Structure 1
């Protein structure tokens, strides 16, 4: 069915269903993002909703997706990075360099132009963005290169990425204690100067999915988002060499440096919901029969990702070993690259390192700040 109101009803209902499902055993490790793509893809292939472009889908791609990405970036205040500490920041940036090297090598090793297809460069940019920053950057690069409308390719890439992220969490949990036993390092577990207490940090956790907002917060976020999109489109028209998504990212980061904007409640909540609706539309474009027929693509993409992450790890842990860095710092910096700030925070908790919880979140936000720029740089270099 192509009725716009009915489609919006189904897309919102899918988010409710997926949020409920991830609380059940067997689904919680899939995550809402991938699950909402799968559920909507099934509905579209059963012709419950339209599987082709409609005005509501176009509106979501043109306005809701960039608006949501803008809101998610408002939590990135770069002034907080001094609290992460020099070792964590240094290792994170080395890990980011390792990711970039890994992306270029994997594209060459797997002959990506032939095995992946003509959009290989955009996928490489997406992987660079997400393995330096996170899902915000992954979706921003995908939106810029219209990978979002190549449903099958996007789903295969997302599935491979999710598997790798889960595997890397296991690796980074196991590695630090093993390496510490074999090659002991002095653990300097202290709270970085000027850092708030863990309790306070968790109150202001930028990764919380629930917030209490008031009409002023909501109106401020809507005004900022609509104004930023309007300004970005205007500037992109005047300076066509600079992509719209990079202009919007820059405006969001500039605004996020003002505390009264950075602290507006609801940016994470509304942004996350918008991204889920955006992902649901990607699912609607997915042809399940074609995806099954071309299933080998997911294996190729997973092989590329595996090589990227292996090279990233060799460089990060190799340099870190030479500098005699704390193994937990290396693992958390790596997890902040590969999995993002949320999983880096979870890893710090799993390793029983409360002193590294705040630095984990902060370097994750640095990744969000630079990931889209570097992702588009990689894609353009390979184009």
Structure 2
């Protein structure tokens, strides 16, 4: 039995730690430059990992299961509420095209990396699904796929560590490319004045939000999740995956895909309702931070350090495939270099890091469009991750 200072059945203490440490991670990320550079996700994961290995937290508890089973599904619709498909198609046509090509680069890189490292990295079918979804969408897709494929916690933690190292490296590469004359001659780039502020703090600045917004956000999210879970169970019984309705079972019988699909359909049918909601991104992101805290808790530091280097090589192949495909396709279709680099950043890092790069490089006219296409990645990430992860599982 695991002996720890806080027992596994001490529900209030465990929920208190998870909620407080998530809040501390967010505060540090927005307050200090060093924390923003490390990222709040790594702070959330790393802190909980240290508390567990120090013998303060138990490695298993029903509280952690509740985060996987209830918190993550609730975060998904909240982070999808502000996706406006019509607006994306209308205002971000060029960026959307190169973004989709970048997403193809992620998918291709995931397949290549899977076959390269399948014999060296355990559970790579699950990890491949997580990374392919995350490197098209973002943290919400990573969390959804981790929950869907029931990836062991220590491997989820190792992947997060490798992923954040890779993101830091890719960000430096993308920031440096526009200054290289080789790229300037072949692509052309519009330089602008950069910003100096903490981008995490700038993005998550104070916004007006009412009690009604909170109530409608949470109530709508609960309703969508409840309907999706019941509907997925119903369709799973009606369309067994081994029958002649594999595609219907794949889409309708999967809780996370049905949850994504239903949310997006509702935002299309009732755009004004969701546009008026305030705070969905903030509430959803906080719930994802609870997930990041929890995935660090069962992590054994020895396993993290043993697996992280190989996983870093895995995500490096995926990220570089995205970048190379983006550059090649961008050159072929005559996109500007800043559009190519921002699309690559939006697919691998998500809309926040892409907007931060646009602000830092002074590409002010691309900040809003790249945010739109980055959120589009949240929509398609779960589909790609599920498809690739399911296929990979047949090959191991």
Please classify the TM superposition score into its range, dividing by the shorter chain length.
Answer: 0.7 to 0.9
TM-superposed CA distance for 1:82, in Å, is 2.8
Indicate the residue corresponding to 2:146 in structure 1. Answer: 142
1:13 to 20, 34, 43: 20
Alpha-carbon displacement from aligned partner over 1:154-181 (angstroms, at most 9, x marks no partner): 1110011111111111111111232453
TM-score w.r.t. structure 2 length? 0.85
Partners of 1:116 and 1:209 lie apart in 2 by 40
8 Å CA contact 1:133, 1:368 repeated in 2: yes
Q: CA RMSD in A?
A: 2.2
8 Å CA contact 1:137, 1:371 repeated in 2: yes
Q: Structure 1 pair 83/345, CA: closer, same or farther in 2 (3 Å)?
A: farther
Secondary structure of the residue that 1:218 maps to in structure 2? Answer: helix
Indicate the residue corresponding to 1:92 in structure 2. Answer: 99
TM-superposed CA distance for 1:217, in Å, is 1.3
Partners of 1:381 and 1:58 lie apart in 2 by 26
Indicate the residue corresponding to 1:177 in structure 2. Answer: 179
Indicate the residue corresponding to 1:269 in structure 2. Answer: 282
8 Å CA contact 2:98, 2:326 repeated in 1: yes
8 Å CA contact 1:75, 1:206 repeated in 2: no
Long gaps (5+) in structure 2:
1-5, 193-200, 237-248
Secondary structure of the residue that 1:239 maps to in structure 2? Answer: helix
1:236 to 226, 232, 236: 232
Aligned length: 359
Query: How do 1:1-383 and structure 2 match up within 5 A?
Result: 1=6, 2=8, 3-22=10-29, 23-54=31-62, 56-110=63-117, 112=118, 114-117=119-122, 119-147=123-151, 150-178=152-180, 179-183=182-186, 185=188, 208=204, 210-240=206-236, 241=249, 242-257=253-268, 258-291=271-304, 295-383=305-393
Partners of 2:91 and 2:229 lie apart in 1 by 35
Q: Structure 1 pair 375/9, CA: closer, same or farther in 2 (3 Å)?
A: same
Q: Structure 1 pair 278/171, CA: closer, same or farther in 2 (3 Å)?
A: same
Q: Structure 1 pair 25/325, CA: closer, same or farther in 2 (3 Å)?
A: closer
8 Å CA contact 1:84, 1:363 repeated in 2: no
Partners of 1:287 and 1:7 lie apart in 2 by 19
TM-score w.r.t. structure 1 length? 0.88
Partners of 2:23 and 2:137 lie apart in 1 by 27
Structure 1 window deviating more from structure 2 (299-308 vs 247-256): it is 247-256
8 Å CA contact 2:73, 2:256 repeated in 1: yes
Long gaps (5+) in structure 1:
190-204
Structure 1 window deviating more from structure 2 (295-304 vs 25-34): it is 25-34
Alpha-carbon displacement from aligned partner over 1:17-74 (angstroms, at most 9, x marks no partner): 32343333533211111111111122222332322122x2222221112111221111
Indicate the residue corresponding to 2:198 in structure 1. Answer: none
TM-superposed CA distance for 1:109, in Å, is 1.7
